[in-house]
Amino acid sequence: MRVVDGATNRQIGIMLTSEALKVARARGVDLVEVAGDVSPPVCRIVDYGKFKYDQKKKEKEHPKRVNKIKEVKFRVGIDPHDYEIKMTRGEHFLSHGDKLRVQLMFRGRQMAHQEIGMDLMEKVKRDLATMAHVDMEPRKAGRNITMMLSPLPEHMRKRKFTKLNADDFEGHEDEEDHHDDDAVEHPDDADHDEDEDAGDVEEASEDAKA
């Protein structure tokens, strides 16, 4: 095994386990394995109690970051400027190591042109290819299409969209954490959308008669 002096962090050398134990006992400390999955394994000659205390202290000072699932939502026929804002937010989430759920929602008669929505999701996937890889391909469920992305390793990420001012994000806030049922529109909402579309058609007919 490779033995390291815990007091000085200097390598003592390659030793037999019995030899390393003799050195540790002579110093009144312990022989602690710190890397058993390498060849040869690495051990440190340290006081085990102090070693565990230092580890816990480091964990408190640098707690592990818990990645979240963020979400951005799109509509069919989204304005190019709004699209850029959404994509900038998506890149922002991915740059922080978070997973990203991309959701496209159909309204009313848009359901008759689902291929347009799928084309938009494919465009989103291409535009985020330098920041993420696809965990789940675009999938239709009810009145929505959903896609899941995970960030690429940090050294491989390359942002495509220009960072925008804080004012540009107003009115475009997306929820940070979601449950799977959040991705489904309620039937009442769908009926409301269709009523709105029907109202538009009636108004157009009245204008034509006038």
In order of 15, 17, 114, the CA distances from 4 in angstroms are 10, 13, 63
**Four-way CATH pick for 2-61: 3.40.50.10800, 3.40.190.10, 3.40.50.880, 3.10.20.80:** 3.10.20.80
139-154 pLDDT, tens per residue? 998 889 999 999 999 8
Q: Which residues of 166-188 are buried (b: 16+ CB within 10 A; e: fewer)?
A: eeeeeeeebeeeeeeeebeeeee
Give the pLDDT confidence score for residue 102 in this predicted structure. 96
Domain 69-192 has CATH 3.40.190.10: no
What pLDDT, in 10s, does the model give residues 26-44?
999 999 998 888 888 999 9
Task: For CATH 3.10.20.80, list the domain ranges present in the chain.
Answer: 2-61
Evaluate whether 149 touches 70 at the Cβ level (below 8 Å): no
In a 3-state reduction of DSSP, which class is residue 191?
helix
